[in-house]
Structure 1
Amino acid sequence: MSGAPASRLVAATRAGLPGWCDRFLDQPGAGEFFASRAWYDTLLAHALPEGAEPVLALCGPEEAAVLPLMRQAGRLSALVSPYTLDWRPLPAPHAEAAALRQAGQSLGRLLRWQAPLRLNTLDPDAPGVAPLLEGLAAARLRPLRFVHTGNWHEVLPPGTGWEAWLAARPSVLRSTITRKLARAGRETDFELVAAPGASLEAGIKDYERVRAASWKPDEPFPDFDGALMRVAAGLGLLRLGVLRARADGAPLAAQYWIVDRGGRRATVLKLAHVQADRAASPGTVLSAQMIRRLIEEDGVSELDFGRGDDAYKQAWVAVRRQRIGVVLADPLHPAGAMALLRQALGRLRRRLASPVAKA
């Protein structure tokens, strides 16, 4: 990579990220799964939007960071999909803030005179985000922040077991779990799959069967979940749970989790239950059984309910953090100027609509 310009855009393919990206990527089990090759290669192969071309922004004279992007209809945006829970720049190992600010400034110069670059599902506290945005702003690009989605999670106090976790839940959920688990013990069977093989393939089919009978809309990329489960199982990170009716073995609920950060965090990727059986609360039963297993056997210390502010999540985990989006706009580009104008008009409307303004 020697002799490379300060920043440049490098094409990638649906076959996966180039090998040189490995030094920027996390190990999927020990680090951040959603910043790993396992995640990105699965996304590229199974959930890249139609017409999108993957692009990597290699930033700075010292190659201090890579930004996984995609180009659609001539515009650049973060390389994300409907399944993305967390997108972030990928700093080089040991890259310091000064180098990342310089990298952002270099990238900003590269992106001048171009249509706005949209980043979303961004953790504002992720390593490298703040200095990169500072550098981009110094290069004339205006980072326009917007609220994107919430992320509900909870870090468990040291030594927390199942009973302590359950005791800390709201009384309504605690009572429901206690009652429904007692009934489920008589009428259902719980199966957990964590390794590749015939059981995993059967579990994936059960998940798809439950998903099809649930309240959820059709999947935009129907092959993605199965592909990700196979990859995660091969790495020892998958926890796929299926709840079955004891009478006939029919699946009533299914969900899968990824365990990363050295076994400390468990993140639920997808969950569903058969809508016709909702009176028995199979989804609640399965979530409780999965969490008990994750706490007691895997020893996780953080539960993460992923992307979105669904009302049920705050009963299961207690803390919300904000995922943001950023539009990087060049005020000298027509589309950038329009983005800045829209932001200014939005602020004006909110100010005029506020009680203080009306008073």
Structure 2
Amino acid sequence: MNTNNSIALVIGLCSHGIAMCRALKQEGVDVHAFEAKNYLPGAATNTANIHYVKNINENSLIDDLLQFRQAIDRSTAIVLFPTNDNNVRILAENVDRITPDFLLSWSENAEDILNLLLKSNIERRCLEMSIRYPKSKVLKKTDDTLEAINQFEFPVLIKPVKPQSGFKALRCDTPEALQENIDKYQKDLPILLQDWISGTDKDLFFGALYLDHGKVISSFCGNKLESHPPAMGQTTVAISAHNPEVIAITKQFFEGLKLSGPVSLELKQDEKGRLWVIEPTIGRTDFWVGLCTAANVNLLYTEYVYTLGLDPQPSKPIRPAIWFDSEKDSLALFRHLDKLLALEGTRYTASFSYLTREDLKPSMVATKALLARVPSYLHKKTFSDKPATKDPDDIQFIQYTGYQQLPDDCKKFLVDQSKIAVFSYDSWYENFCRTVASSKGSVCFLCLYKKNQVAAILPMWYKKESMGGKRVNLISGLTNYYTPIFSMSWDETLITESLAGQCFLKHVMENGTWDLINLSPMPEETVVNWQKIATQLNKASFHYYVTKNMFEDEIKDFSSYMKARPSRLKNTIKRKTKKLTSLGDWHIDIITNLEDLPQALTSYHQVYNQSWKKSEPYPDFIDGLAQLGAEQNWLRLGILYIENRAVAVQFWLVERNTAYIYKLAYAREYKDYSPGTILTHRLMEHVITRDGVTKVDFLTGGEAFKLDWMTSFRNLHGIQIVNKQRPMGFLFYLRNLAGHFRKSLWTPPLMQSKSMYNLRLSDPGKRE
């Protein structure tokens, strides 16, 4: 293909711009670039002829372009490639001035480009195309916040309507945090306020297309693995992905606009597997374009060819690729070595923001700048381990030793502000402290008061543990294997989650001797929040996977719920019920009251001891929880009897509109009769029909049989915070570093697919 009479002009040499230059250069294109900052690593590239201008993000760019045109032979076509939204906006606003002298893939669509650059217009487009988009409101002035607070549930997300503003996106957990951020970023108004879609970086996908008058010429799907800031910021690690639904929604979003040029759409998958539009990128390729190129989808060259009206080349097969923004995260490569070494069975081609063999100087400049910062960074991380923040003057801290010291207002607070229902109520902790924690260590309820009101409570457990033959001063959440999920309780009208956590950790770190703080199990995004808090306090932290939490919500009625179950489950229930009947008389009791509880608990423990499980280490805890459940009308203790012998038991708790499946067991000799399946079926009918629950939660464990009953899940994680100023703490710091490095080398990462039938079911210890 002859392109001697044409050149490409890339506007900007950030890491995105240099990836664009390289993608064009590798196809033999004569590449030129505008840049204002000669110290950027990209300014050292050998893939472009660089022309320095005053500013690439202001209207003076147009004058510089026209002056550049005069220096180039009129017979040479110049194709423009903007790198950021400001470039796109300036070109679109001045399209009439530049089109006589330059080629722009989307010059005929400038009005649509300007429209979709404004985030305030995305919701309307999604409504037109029947695509999910978070509930949104545009705040035009600071006073608009008061009205908006009553229209949204928290947390919420805010981001500026106009591109390239003072911030990218911020999560606000409380009305106070929202108002504070709106006041702080007044100059960036109007600001878009949105519902927060739960999930982490790994739930973010993007579909990229090249369009020619609305026709899809090429497409690519990617999946974020990491971003900065987490779940809200710029991509730092991404991989190629196969997700037809992402591509389909991307095509649907741009359908009918007759656009030309590169476009992309970022989507987020919620815990039910539904995809929500986050935002489009239009008029340019996105920051991760190097990933597309590494995967054999060269969007830049496609744009170059179609803009010039040349004959396109055949597309190449897409290959697995991974992209690292080494500018923002220089250690990400080591966390994902498994993909480069093909330890998952698939070898990914790596691409970096700066490093390539053909163009080494940019990475050398970037590395030199990074190394210059290393000494101060290491000194800060290794020796400057003192909390860097100060508690607000209006916050008072009180520590209560043991449950018995806890005053009534704190007990009531644990119920009113519980984030995880039954499992952080005061009665849960009373039973736990009395039957489990009393024999080991000391319990503390850390309480924050603001304006003489309880603002937050964090139950903690101080213990000395033997780990690796060494005595360790361990501080953990008030949990053990009986705890399906752990959470701090806080009043969002008085304090943010971040500030409360920061105050608690700072107090723990400054008062007493400790080697290790461990909080687990918690949703992954909660662990990310705690990691941020630890970072703010200059403490090293490490997160780890614990288990899965499977659930089914939005249940309308028992009939429709069972209709949606797999046919194999319905057939099993039918066959095993018939087989069970052949043994003799059998029946199921569902115990909910105190009167029948003693005999029911006797049956529970008998079956539990006859099952594949170990005997209850703290039977008094189970008895206490059952009694509490009966007193509060939470208990649904199901027992299946054959000829008056208990052969299967299940311990459920129903609170508000949710049923929690807490414990289950059956006698091993009856395994072939599937008594657990029969009992689950009956309890499901009971809680949906009689109790009116709309959600059933299997709590912890990723066992295969749960896939028949549940269609949604989330991962539960933990976090360890280490005290490097103590020998054992420093040892754990080194062990965690080595462990994470070893895991990245030899262990495939946790599968993050929301498809319930693709789960990696690796949690030990439980069966149907």
TM bin (shorter chain)? 0.7 to 0.9
Report the Cα offset of residue 234 of structure 1: 0.4
Give the Cα separation in 2 of the matches to 1:234 and 1:293: 19
Give the Cα separation in 2 of the matches to 1:294 and 1:28: 25
Report the Cα offset of residue 345 of structure 1: 1.8
* 2:644 counterpart letter in structure 1: G
Report the Cα offset of residue 43 of structure 1: 0.9
1:229-260 CA deviation, whole Å, 9 max, x = no partner? 11111001111111111xx3111111111011
Q: Which residue of 1 aligns with 2:564?
A: 168
- Residues 311, 131 of structure 1: alpha-carbon distance in 2 compared, 3 angstrom cutoff: closer
SS at match of 1:64: strand
Q: Does 1:315 align with 2:708?
A: yes
Report the Cα offset of residue 346 of structure 1: 2.5
Give the Cα separation in 2 of the matches to 1:335 and 1:59: 30
Q: Which residue of 1 aligns with 2:649?
A: 254
* Aligned pairs for 1:117-132 within 5 A: 117-125=517-525
Q: Which residue of 1 aligns with 2:477?
A: 78
* Aligned pairs for 1:31-180 within 5 A: 32-48=421-437, 50-59=439-448, 64-73=455-464, 74-92=473-491, 94-97=493-496, 100-110=497-507, 111-112=509-510, 114-125=514-525, 133-157=531-555, 159=556, 161-180=557-576
Give the Cα separation in 1 of the matches to 2:479 and 2:671: 32
- Residues 210, 114 of structure 1: alpha-carbon distance in 2 compared, 3 angstrom cutoff: closer
Give the Cα separation in 1 of the matches to 2:661 and 2:541: 31
- Residues 216, 352 of structure 1: alpha-carbon distance in 2 compared, 3 angstrom cutoff: closer
Give the Cα separation in 2 of the matches to 1:146 and 1:299: 36
* Aligned pairs for 1:287-298 within 5 A: 287-298=680-691
- Residues 163, 102 of structure 1: alpha-carbon distance in 2 compared, 3 angstrom cutoff: closer
- Residues 269, 352 of structure 1: alpha-carbon distance in 2 compared, 3 angstrom cutoff: closer
* 1:179 counterpart letter in structure 2: R
- Residues 115, 218 of structure 1: alpha-carbon distance in 2 compared, 3 angstrom cutoff: same
- Residues 108, 137 of structure 1: alpha-carbon distance in 2 compared, 3 angstrom cutoff: farther
- Residues 21, 168 of structure 1: alpha-carbon distance in 2 compared, 3 angstrom cutoff: same
- Residues 288, 137 of structure 1: alpha-carbon distance in 2 compared, 3 angstrom cutoff: same
SS at match of 1:332: coil
SS at match of 2:429: helix
Q: Does 1:190 align with 2:588?
A: yes
Report the Cα offset of residue 339 of structure 1: 2.9
Q: Percent identity?
A: 25
Indicate if the aligned counterparts of 2:458 and 2:504 stay in contact, CA closer than 8 A: no
- Residues 8, 132 of structure 1: alpha-carbon distance in 2 compared, 3 angstrom cutoff: farther
Moved more, 321-330 or 102-111: 102-111
* 1:238 counterpart letter in structure 2: L
Q: Which residue of 1 aligns with 2:206?
A: none
- Residues 16, 188 of structure 1: alpha-carbon distance in 2 compared, 3 angstrom cutoff: farther
- Residues 351, 231 of structure 1: alpha-carbon distance in 2 compared, 3 angstrom cutoff: closer
1:94-142 CA deviation, whole Å, 9 max, x = no partner? 2342xx333333333321473221111113456xx76555334212223
* 1:236 counterpart letter in structure 2: N
Moved more, 203-212 or 4-13: 4-13
Q: Does 1:24 align with 2:413?
A: yes
Give the Cα separation in 2 of the matches to 1:31 and 1:67: 13
TM-score (norm 2): 0.41
Q: Does 1:301 align with 2:694?
A: yes
Give the Cα separation in 1 of the matches to 2:417 and 2:623: 18
- Residues 131, 148 of structure 1: alpha-carbon distance in 2 compared, 3 angstrom cutoff: closer
SS at match of 2:443: strand
SS at match of 1:223: helix
Indicate if the aligned counterparts of 2:650 and 2:664 stay in contact, CA closer than 8 A: yes
- Residues 102, 354 of structure 1: alpha-carbon distance in 2 compared, 3 angstrom cutoff: closer
Report the Cα offset of residue 291 of structure 1: 0.6
* 1:118 counterpart letter in structure 2: N
1:189-208 CA deviation, whole Å, 9 max, x = no partner? 111111111x1221111111
Give the Cα separation in 1 of the matches to 2:539 and 2:399: 17
Indicate if the aligned counterparts of 1:294 and 1:300 stay in contact, CA closer than 8 A: yes
Give the Cα separation in 2 of the matches to 1:183 and 1:294: 25
Indicate if the aligned counterparts of 1:107 and 1:136 stay in contact, CA closer than 8 A: no
Q: Which residue of 1 aligns with 2:401?
A: 11
Q: Does 1:329 align with 2:701?
A: no
Superposed CA RMSD in Å reads 2.8
- Residues 89, 29 of structure 1: alpha-carbon distance in 2 compared, 3 angstrom cutoff: closer
Report the Cα offset of residue 34 of structure 1: 0.7
Give the Cα separation in 2 of the matches to 1:28 and 1:191: 34
Report the Cα offset of residue 352 of structure 1: 3.9
Indicate if the aligned counterparts of 1:104 and 1:135 stay in contact, CA closer than 8 A: yes
Indicate if the aligned counterparts of 2:419 and 2:487 stay in contact, CA closer than 8 A: no
Moved more, 213-222 or 307-316: 307-316
Q: Which residue of 2 aligns with 1:279?
A: 672
* Aligned pairs for 1:333-352 within 5 A: 333-352=726-745
TM-score (norm 1): 0.85
Give the Cα separation in 2 of the matches to 1:28 and 1:109: 22
- Residues 346, 206 of structure 1: alpha-carbon distance in 2 compared, 3 angstrom cutoff: same
Give the Cα separation in 1 of the matches to 2:443 and 2:489: 15
Report the Cα offset of residue 92 of structure 1: 3.0
Moved more, 129-138 or 65-74: 129-138
Indicate if the aligned counterparts of 1:29 and 1:259 stay in contact, CA closer than 8 A: no
